[in-house]
Amino acid sequence: MNQRISYLLNKPFPVSKVQHRKGPGGKELAYITARDVMDRLDEVFKPWGWQTKYEYLGGRMVCYLSCKVSGEWVTKADGADDTQIEGAKGGISDSLKRAAVNWGIGRIYYNPGCFGPNREPAYWATPEGYEKIIADRENKEIEEFRKELSSV
């Protein structure tokens, strides 16, 4: 996948967009909403550059999330059970979010070190920290490439 697309998809959301809830075993879980996912897809692919298809399969709602990359449709899918709060609508939203994780959207929030005990984000889990890390990595790669060229 195009490096720029990957960068934009994986970029953390502003801390104000990240929500928290208690998960299994009392774990603190960070998550984004389905609308945040849709906004990120619009930002990266434009509204006409992505599409979804849903199918109820094996007791789960499966979302097939297709994005147009280099002129070709690429599909990644994942499923979710209906939720206790919103039933089928929750299953649709959750399956979209889970399919989006396959594209890198929100995947960072699965990292256990992403947020501290007071929901303080790790530096790398903020848009600013992420951008600095990527810029530093790119600068290092450019410098290494220059060294290679000068030794030829």
Calculate what percentage of the chain has a pLDDT beyond 70: 93
Tens digits of residue pLDDT in 132-152: 998 888 888 888 878 777 776
Q: What percent of the chain has pLDDT over 90?
A: 57
Interatomic CA distance for residues 150 and 40, integer angstroms: 40
- Sign of torsion over alpha carbons 128, 137, 8, 86: negative
Q: What is the pTM of this model?
A: 0.83
What pLDDT is recorded for position 87? 46
- Number of neighbours of residue 128 by Cβ within 10 angstroms: 12
Residue-level pLDDT at 86: 56
Name the token pair of 76: 């990644």
75, pLDDT greater than 50: yes
Token pair for 38: 């849709």
Q: What's the pLDDT score for residue 1?
A: 59
Q: Does the pLDDT of residue 48 top 60, yes or no?
A: yes
Domains along the chain?
A: 3-150 (3.30.390)
Give which of 26, 35, 32 is closest to 101, Cα–Cα.
32
Give the whole-angstrom CA distance, residue 18 versus residue 121: 10
pLDDT of 40 higher than 90: yes
Name the amino acid, one letter, at 48.
W
- Dihedral angle at the C-alpha atoms of 25, 57, 99, 65, nearest 10 degrees? -170
pLDDT attached to residue 58:
81
